[in-house]
Amino acid sequence: MTFAHRHLLGIEQLKPDDILAILDLAETYVDLNRKSDKHSDVLSGLTQINMFFENSTRTQASFELAGMRLGADVMNMSMQASSIKKGETLIDTAMTLNAMHPDLLVVRHPHSGAVDLLAQKVNCAVLNAGDGRHEHPTQALLDALTIRRAKGRLHRLNIAICGDIAHSRVARSNIMLLGKLENRLRLIGPPTLMPAQIGEFGVEVYEDMSEGLKDVDVVMMLRLQKERMDGGFIPSEREYYHRYGLDAAKLSLAKPDAIVMHPGPMNRGVEIDGTLADDINRSVIQDQVEMGVAVRMAAMELLARNQVARRMA
Amino acid sequence: MTNILFTNARLIDPESGIDDLGTLLVRDGRIAAEGHEVAVPDDVELVDCGGKCLAPGIVDIGVKVCEPGERHKESYKSAGLAAAAGGVTTIVTRPDTMPTIDSPETLEFVTRRAQVDAPVNVVPMAALTKGRDGREMTEIGFLMDAGAVAFTDCDHVVSNTKVFLRALTYARSCGALVMAHPQEPTLSAGAAATSGKFASLRGLPAVSPMAERMGLDRDIALIEMSGARYHADQITTARALPALERAKRNGLDITAGVSIHHLTLNELDVADYRTFFKVKPPLRSEEDRLAVVEAVKTGLIDTISSMHTPQDEESKRLPFEEAASGAVALETLLPAAMRLYHAEYLTLPDLFRAMALNPAKRLGLPVGRLTPGAPADLVLFDPDAPFILDRSTLRSKSRNTPFDGQRMQGKVLATYVAGQPVYRRA
């Protein structure tokens, strides 16, 4: 199995085999992470820098832990606080870091395409940890691993993605990944939170949640991004919860064994009922967090192998 | 002043629709005669055109020269050289400089700079409202006396309809031409792309193409109320065309232009967030592009311009949303236009009608035609000569062209302003 990519910028560039290669390797890290000795040396001697131009506690912690468990030297840079305020451009920042010879660069940025731009300017492997509304590939991979483990397969499933699709990079990456593996996708949300011409992506679009949830195997909820709500996309949080929030009644329309997912952080009582989120029989939200570390370890290992091979060549 | 006889030329005259081999005589800076049988005087310089095209020089409405304020991006000298090399003999400049050209004093500065440095004709436009803020109209009368040929706030829409109506009404009383950017500004705020499948895939903030029609609809109502002379800077969407057609049919004094980029590129060219393809309004779908090309063919859209907008590397080497809009195009306007000719969408007289005759007529300039008596502003070009564009060879100080590395056809061989050569291909 070859994974012939220098960077992990998005799901768009990956072939189904690439996706499965990451997931298969991640399985081994799930096992490792459950042991008391969680240490591996595959990234020993390599340097990983996490550059977050946008706030994130969970994703950054997940990447940091993944790197440390693989033996990399990990450095975190919170970019809102630093040079950006002094007027340095993204490319200058990238060039500066590049001069420090990192091997893996994990980047999150508020603008779509910013991570692609940065990847063009550096010598190391770049992992996209979320760029604007564009892609968040490791989230889609961890979701895929969670689904595969819960459902026993990752194809021919009916999967509903619900909520703020328009502003969601998680939705875009998931649409691409789950579509490539031949699942049936439904997008559910108010039309104000749907991207233009999304129907052309090979998905079914529902404005009525009860209709959209009928007989699905997986319900993937998205966070309602409060910070992006100033344009008045919805009338109020309580009306949104009434129409698009996931509760037991709405979930009863899905298959009896349907699982509930959420990328976090959750707004309890806005997009999802709190009790439901905590229901270990339906919710796999904590599994997603666990899979996140494993998937990131796998992705970093594959990229690091290519990176080292490239240096040798 | 030397007299020139162009022989063996493929004459392109948009006024008569002629595209035919012939001879053209220039005397005292003016076209003296054209056609098959021109009497040859003794005291002339002979130019054998070898069957290449001789057309009226391009009149380009909406060129941004970055003086005053950002001379490092483009000066009158660099813009003038680029224009000459591109066959553009008249540049009609935009007032969106720093500071805005909104007073007779700033306009005089620009006129003086242009006279000293630019080898081609420069005719300035001035702002319609002070500081392009959309609040108070400029001194339209004084500015016309100082040489302003049109009034525009460029890509700033005068969103206060009452202010815009008053400015249009006052402009009408002065006989001034107003150029506007049809766009519903609250709908297009923050947009970096045209909404649709591509923008959704790339996760870019996008605006519906309908925002252009909404802006045009409003402006048409205001022209109807005020009787003003109006030119839409860029009509780039299919849905705006019926409104434009109706307004013209109803006898309103309205014309419209389009940039060469919207005629030759579409939204997919942005590909992996290539910021040199970020223009304003954003590139459209292929359906829109084809509709707009057809509208140029029928004459519904009157003018083609470069919308030359120099941006330095720093303002383009940014994530797509943050990057500045605009592309340089003075030197690539003609070769890019040749794409439309070679693809058989438009004939050469069609193209020069939109690039030379119509803009000249709209601004009341005597150029843009090969008629005897007209100033001898001419471009000699080979429409077939192939090349690969290397942006480092551009004469503009800024090299933000979307055509870098692309195969082009059509080379300018020489450019003349009032019978004087201002560019000759080495």
Which DSSP string do the residues of A183-218 spell out, in sequence order? -EEEEES-GGGS-TTGGGGT-EEES-HHHHHTT-SE
A229 vs B190 pLDDT, higher one: B190
Beta strand ranges found along B187-271 (DSSP E): 193-194, 206-207, 229-232, 254-259
Q: Which residues of A touch B195 (CB under 8 A)?
A: 196-197
Is B197 part of the contact surface with chain A (CB cutoff 8 Å)?
Answer: yes
Q: Do A169 and B201 touch (CB under 8 A)?
A: no
Give CA–CA dist A152/B96, Å, rounded: 61
pLDDT of res. A78: 79
pLDDT of res. B42: 79
pLDDT of res. B383: 98
Is B204 part of the contact surface with chain A (CB cutoff 8 Å)?
Answer: yes
Q: Do A117 and B273 touch (CB under 8 A)?
A: yes
State the burial class of residue B165 (Cβ atoms within 10 Å of its Cβ: 0-12, 13-18, 19+): middle
Q: Which residues of A touch B186 (CB under 8 A)?
A: none
CB B102 within 8 A of CB B126: yes
CB B7 within 8 A of CB B23: yes
Counting one residue from A and one from B, how many pairs have CB atoms under 8 Å apart? 68
CB B81 within 8 A of CB B122: no
Q: Residue A212 pairs with which residues in a beta bridge?
A: none
**Is the predicted pLDDT of residue B296 greater than 60, yes or no?**
yes
Q: What is the pLDDT of residues A252-270, one digit of tens each?
A: 999 999 999 999 999 999 9
pLDDT of res. A51: 93
Q: Which residues of A touch B206 (CB under 8 A)?
A: 196
Starting at the earlier edge strand, list the strands of the sheet with A204-206.
Answer: A204-206, A184-188, A158-162, A218-221, A259-261
The H or E element that residue B342 is part of is helix B333-342
Torsion-angle region of residue A177: left (phi > 0), alpha (psi -120 to 50) or beta? alpha
Q: Do B200 and A195 touch (CB under 8 A)?
A: yes
Distance from CA of A187 to the nearest CA of B (A): 14
Is A230 part of the contact surface with chain B (CB cutoff 8 Å)?
Answer: no
CB B84 within 8 A of CB B423: yes
The H or E element that residue B138 is part of is none
B259 vs B41 pLDDT, higher one: B259
**Is the predicted pLDDT of residue A235 greater than 80, yes or no?**
yes
Give CA–CA dist B22/B38, Å, rounded: 9
The band of B34, judged by pLDDT with boundaries at 50, 70 and 90, is confident
> Which tokens hold the place of A22?
């990451």
Q: Give the residue numbers of A marked as catalytic.
A: 58-59, 86, 108, 136
Q: Do A172 and B208 touch (CB under 8 A)?
A: no
pLDDT of res. B91: 98
Q: What is the pLDDT of residues A160-218, one digit of tens each?
A: 999 999 999 999 999 999 999 999 999 999 999 999 999 999 999 999 999 999 999 99
Mean per-residue pLDDT, B406-412: 97
pLDDT of res. A87: 65
Give CA–CA dist A118/A116, Å, rounded: 5
Give CA–CA dist B183/B187, Å, rounded: 8
Q: Which residues of B touch A134 (CB under 8 A)?
A: 202-204
Chain centre to alpha carbon of residue A242: 27
Mean per-residue pLDDT, B361-367: 97
Is B166 part of the contact surface with chain A (CB cutoff 8 Å)?
Answer: no
Is B312 part of the contact surface with chain A (CB cutoff 8 Å)?
Answer: no
Is B250 part of the contact surface with chain A (CB cutoff 8 Å)?
Answer: no
Distance from CA of A113 to the nearest CA of B (A): 6
pLDDT of res. A231: 58
Q: What is the pLDDT of residues A13-65, one digit of tens each?
A: 999 999 999 999 999 999 999 999 999 999 999 999 999 998 889 999 999 99
Domain B4-53+376-424: homologous superfamily in CATH: Urease, subunit C, domain 1 (2.30.40.10)
CB A30 within 8 A of CB A294: yes
Is B202 part of the contact surface with chain A (CB cutoff 8 Å)?
Answer: yes
The H or E element that residue B18 is part of is strand B18-27
Q: Do A196 and B206 touch (CB under 8 A)?
A: yes
Q: Do B195 and A196 touch (CB under 8 A)?
A: yes
Distance from CA of B367 to the nearest CA of A (A): 45
Its ipTM equals 0.89
CB B159 within 8 A of CB B214: no
Mean per-residue pLDDT, B304-320: 95
Q: Which residues of A touch B314 (CB under 8 A)?
A: 89
Give CA–CA dist B230/B257, Å, rounded: 11
CB A137 within 8 A of CB A291: no
> Which tokens hold the place of B157?
């829409």
Q: Residue A27 pairs with which residues in a beta bridge?
A: none
Distance from CA of B130 to the nearest CA of A (A): 30
Q: What is the pLDDT of residues B110-164, one digit of tens each?
A: 999 999 999 999 999 999 999 999 999 999 999 999 999 999 999 999 999 999 9
> Which tokens hold the place of B71?
């001379």
pLDDT of res. B59: 98
**Is the predicted pLDDT of residue A81 greater than 90, yes or no?**
no
Is B358 part of the contact surface with chain A (CB cutoff 8 Å)?
Answer: no
Q: Do B202 and A169 touch (CB under 8 A)?
A: no
Distance from CA of B387 to the nearest CA of A (A): 27
CB B283 within 8 A of CB B269: yes
Give CA–CA dist B25/B35, Å, rounded: 9
Distance from CA of B195 to the nearest CA of A (A): 6
Q: What is the pLDDT of residues A179-194, one digit of tens each?
A: 999 999 999 999 999 9
The band of A86, judged by pLDDT with boundaries at 50, 70 and 90, is low
Q: Do A111 and B201 touch (CB under 8 A)?
A: no
Q: CA A70 → CA A138, A302, B366, distances in Å?
A: 17, 12, 75
**Is the predicted pLDDT of residue B1 greater than 80, yes or no?**
no
In a mutational test of the B interface, the residue from A122, A128, A133 whose CB has the highest number of chain B CBs within 10 Å is: A133
**Is the predicted pLDDT of residue B196 greater than 90, yes or no?**
yes
Q: Which residues of B touch A139 (CB under 8 A)?
A: none
Residue type present at position B185: P
The band of B38, judged by pLDDT with boundaries at 50, 70 and 90, is confident
**Is the predicted pLDDT of residue B277 greater than 80, yes or no?**
yes
Starting at the earlier edge strand, list the strands of the sheet with B229-232.
Answer: B151-152, B177-180, B229-232, B254-259, B303-305
What mean pLDDT is reported for chain B?
96
The band of B399, judged by pLDDT with boundaries at 50, 70 and 90, is very high
Is A306 part of the contact surface with chain B (CB cutoff 8 Å)?
Answer: no
Beta strand ranges found along A20-173 (DSSP E): 47-52, 73-78, 104-109, 125-131, 158-162
The band of A82, judged by pLDDT with boundaries at 50, 70 and 90, is low
State the burial class of residue B166 (Cβ atoms within 10 Å of its Cβ: 0-12, 13-18, 19+): middle
Q: Do B321 and A132 touch (CB under 8 A)?
A: yes
Residue type present at position A129: A
Q: Are strands A204-206 and A184-188 parallel, antiparallel or unpaired?
A: parallel
CB B253 within 8 A of CB B264: no
Residue type present at position A66: A
Q: What are the two backbone dihedrals, phi and then psi, of residue A15, each rounded to the nearest 5 degrees? A: -90, 160
% of chain B at pLDDT higher than 70: 100
H helix runs in A35-122, sequence order = 58-69, 90-98, 114-119
Give CA–CA dist B84/A51, Å, rounded: 47
Give CA–CA dist A23/A100, Å, rounded: 31
CB A10 within 8 A of CB A135: yes
pLDDT of res. B72: 95
Is A111 part of the contact surface with chain B (CB cutoff 8 Å)?
Answer: yes
Q: What residue in A sits closest to B321 (Cα-Cα)?
A: A111
pLDDT of res. A79: 77
CB A248 within 8 A of CB A273: yes
3-state DSSP helix/strand/coil percent for chain B, to nearest 5?
35, 25, 40
B4-53+376-424 matches B57-363 in fold: no
| Torsion angle in degrees (nearest 10) through CA of A38, A41, A45, A47 | -50
Distance from CA of A239 to the nearest CA of B (A): 25
Mean per-residue pLDDT, A117-143: 96
Classify residue B349 by its DSSP letter: H
CATH number 3.60.20.10 is the correct assignment for the domain at B57-363: no
> Which tokens hold the place of A291?
């899979």
Give CA–CA dist A71/B97, Å, rounded: 55
Is A134 part of the contact surface with chain B (CB cutoff 8 Å)?
Answer: yes
CB A29 within 8 A of CB A56: no
CB B402 within 8 A of CB B394: no
Q: Do A113 and B208 touch (CB under 8 A)?
A: no
Q: What are the two backbone dihedrals, phi and then psi, of residue B5, each rounded to the nearest 5 degrees? A: -115, 115
CB B190 within 8 A of CB B240: no
Domain boundaries, chain B: 4-53+376-424, 57-363
